[in-house]
Amino acid sequence: MKKIILTADRPTGNLHIGHYVGSIANRLKLQEQNDYEKYYIMIADTQALTDNADNVDKVKNNIIQVAIDYLSAGIDPNKVEIFIQSQVPELAEMTMYFMNLVTVARLTRNPTVKDEIKQRGFANSLPVGFLCYPISQAADICAFNANCIPVGEDQLPMLEQAREIVRSFNHAYGKEVLTLPEPLLPENEACRRLPGIDGGLKMSKSAGNCIYLKDEPEEIKRKVMSAYTDPNHIKISDPGKVEGNVVFKYLDAFATDESFKKFLPEYKNLEELKAHYRNGGLGDVKIKLFLNNVLQELLAPIRERRKALEKDIDSIYKMLFENGKKVRKIAGETILRMKEAMGLDYEKLLKKEN
Ligand code: ATP
Ligand code: MG
């Protein structure tokens, strides 16, 4: 079976280096491999509104920001259909049908959603839409018959929920109407959930602990130099802890043996650097300056491309709107198939009467 790829980001801010290693790098690889039937990337504005209902402008303004981030990271609009979620209203219709197949208890058990509810301090003000966003995410995937979903680890519970919905739907309505999606995680474990610069479990736009793809060189350096390391590693001679140390986590994700040759040739690789840090005698400033060099090298060309793209925002909007119209047709075909399977194809009744 050929791959149908779909993945998405919430337009709640610019994309950060967690997105890059967690999902964008795999998207670029898939784009290069070229063995897919269809390839969609969705800007999930409807989903972003589930916790930003009072901040529509933020969501609206970030749509173009995320689109520019994609293009500057190397996503090729000739190979990938990038579109805006709310321009495909069929997704909302599908969500309604799916809602009947999921219990409230199941939704409240979702570990990612649980964490996000806590992080946002929702307690008694939890919007129904937010609790249900895993269901709408299942609709996004199913509408396009997607079977390959490049994501970070926090999305695994969403994929599990989507798979349950597909099974329930196909079971309830007796047909293989919907396709089972598979997550595609980064091979490198360190890339699956990049922590925040503050040591928070996950770098995320909503937590404000990010290094953004668009950050200027001074900003990147400032953030790297402030990153959480080992609070007990006070003097250079102290032995340091690598586990839970954000700088080493980032190096796990971004540094290659090539990076050492280029920026820190006195060490052969990351293992050697870690061993020195553990034994004592290696200061935080040195490892941070190395990380800074590695990140600057990755982000400079992305930032340059962004500057060029920012000059013609209209053509990016036009591309998004055109794609929205195109992909709507596909979602429409899926909804028709679903309704037929459910027996909601009422026009058939009319034909019988005539
Ligand atoms: P928000 O805080 O608004 O939820 P976010 O930073 O979590 O934003 P999303 O748009 O929710 O970003 O996630 C988009 C994709 O990026 C998902 O596939 C997600 O798994 C991946 N991703 C997000 N943050 C990270 C991270 N820190 N490490 C690895 N992957 C990540
Ligand atoms: Mg998120």
What's the CA-to-centroid distance between 48 and ligand 2, angstroms? 9
What's the CA-to-centroid distance between 186 and ligand 1, angstroms? 13
Q: How far apart are CA 220 and CA 129, in angstroms?
A: 35
The per-residue pLDDT for range 133-150, each reduced to its tens digit, is 999 999 999 999 999 999
- Residue of 204, 250, 252 to mutate, ligand 1, most atoms within 8 A of C-beta: 204
pLDDT at residue 349, as a whole number: 85
Of 201 and 70, the one with more pLDDT: 70
pLDDT at residue 353, as a whole number: 58
- Region of poorest pLDDT, from 53-57, 71-75, 121-125: 121-125
Chain position carrying tokens 């970070």: 152
Q: What is the mean pLDDT of residues 270-292?
A: 97
pLDDT at residue 206, as a whole number: 79
Sign of the alpha-carbon torsion through 282, 284, 285, 291: positive
Largest interatomic CA distance in the chain: 90
What's the CA-to-centroid distance between 353 and ligand 1, angstroms? 52
Q: Tell me the CB-side half-sphere exposure of residue 277, using CA atoms within 13 A.
A: 24
State the pLDDT confidence band at 352, using cuts at 50, 70 and 90: low
152 Ramachandran zone, left/alpha/beta (phi>0; psi -120 to 50): beta
pLDDT at residue 354, as a whole number: 55
Query: Is the CB of 19 inside a 6 Å radius of any atom of ligand 1?
Result: yes
| CB 85, CB 8: distance < 8 Å | yes
pLDDT at residue 350, as a whole number: 82
Of the candidates 28, 122, 124, which has an alpha carbon nearest to the alpha carbon of residue 74? 28
Q: At what angle do helices 270-279 and 284-309 cross, to 10 degrees?
A: 140
Beta bridge partners of 82: 41
Query: Is the CB of 52 inside a 6 Å radius of any atom of ligand 1?
Result: no
State the pLDDT confidence band at 1, using cuts at 50, 70 and 90: confident
Instruction: Return the DSSP state at 137.
Output: H
